[in-house]
Structure 1
Amino acid sequence: MNFSHRFFRSQGEPGRGVQEPLLDFLDSEFWRVYTLTAELESDPQQVKLAQALTLNPDKPHMGLKGTYGLFGSPEWWNSINLRRMPLRFISGTIAEVYEAGQDSKTGLNNEIVLDLSAGGRESFGIYTNNKKQVKLFTPGATVLMVDALDEYKRPARGFPDSGITLEVAISKPDSHR
């Protein structure tokens, strides 16, 4: 499934400094259930805290490096939209759904295991802008995701970048294959 390439811009085209759609899919087959923009609009403090950590010289090992701009800033979004920042496009079929966390007792699933279209199997958190949409994450559903691979100030071994989820879409129940 090719869902990621329709929004590539030419190098000379100016950016708008806002999140632009990255996933390209048929509206009859998928619902867009998450965008980072909607999350940040509901909790603008996230941007302030992330930016403060990047700018704090007393925390040289914590937070993002700022290579592509401060998190959530127009420069940061342009780095994503113009593909200066590396992105990871993920697609797969849900094999398992479960509630993760040692002390988690909410009764709500928050993790999925995907059989990746590119091969292999990987766990991901469930991202939605509306908690009611968690029920859409069922075995057999197809998930499309895109992550921004922003750089940490001090990368952990095996984790050089942050993997910030930007957008998630899930197949509609009648389109499960």
Structure 2
Amino acid sequence: MKPVYTLAEALAKDPSRVAKTQSLTLDSSRPHMGLKGSHGLFASEAWWESIEARRLQTQIVTGSIERTYFAGQDSRRGDQVNSFTLRLADGSTVDESIYTNHKQDTRLFVPGAMVTMVYVLDELKAQPAVDGGVNYARTVLEVAVFTQ
């Protein structure tokens, strides 16, 4: 497995993302927008500690890439991909976006490659979810790819 993405590295390159996310959490004039912040502000030391201590739930998705494709309406080069369909062990499929810290690692996302994605589930201010449960933001923490 080759680690190709960590949220920590991505945030180090884009500190404004942290500031914007934290600001929205703290903005009481927007009671239905942003994260709740129950386990620390996004990407704060308390937030990372909540992940380590498992106070914030994580989710792991592993499977084999079935196909890659370009999703969206922006113009692109013919060989550019930004998404893939992942076949899970139970036979179901999920569509995911390609996350990498270094552009050259995008080439590792090919049909047949195994991918593991780790998400953190952080409660949103807007509650409940459509199904009546807890409404979460699902943020990618890590991505690793195994090619043969």
Residue 56 (structure 1) aligns with: 27
CA shift, 1:138, in A, is 0.5
Kindly indicate whether residue 75 of structure 2 is the aligned counterpart of residue 105 of structure 1: yes
Q: TM-score, normalised by structure 2?
A: 0.92
Kindly indicate whether residue 127 of structure 2 is the aligned counterpart of residue 161 of structure 1: no
Which runs of structure 2 are paired with 1:10-159 in the superposition (5 Å)? Answer: 30-101=1-72, 103-107=73-77, 108-155=80-127, 156-157=129-130
Instruction: Write the deviation string for residues 33-81 of structure 1: whole angstroms up to 9, x where unpaired.
Output: 0000000000011111000000001111111000111000000001111
Cα distance in 2 for residues equivalent to 1:60 and 1:130 = 36
Question: Which AA in structure 1 matches 2:76?
Answer: T
Counting aligned pairs with the same residue, the percent is: 42
Matched residue count: 143
CA shift, 1:96, in A, is 1.1
User: Structure 1 residues 151-160 or 138-147, which shifts more?
Assistant: 151-160
Cα distance in 1 for residues equivalent to 2:4 and 2:87 = 20
Instruction: Write the deviation string for residues 90-141 of structure 1: whole angstroms up to 9, x where unpaired.
Output: 100000100001x222232111110012441101110000111111100000
| 5+ residue gaps, structure 1 | 1-29
| 5+ residue gaps, structure 2 | none
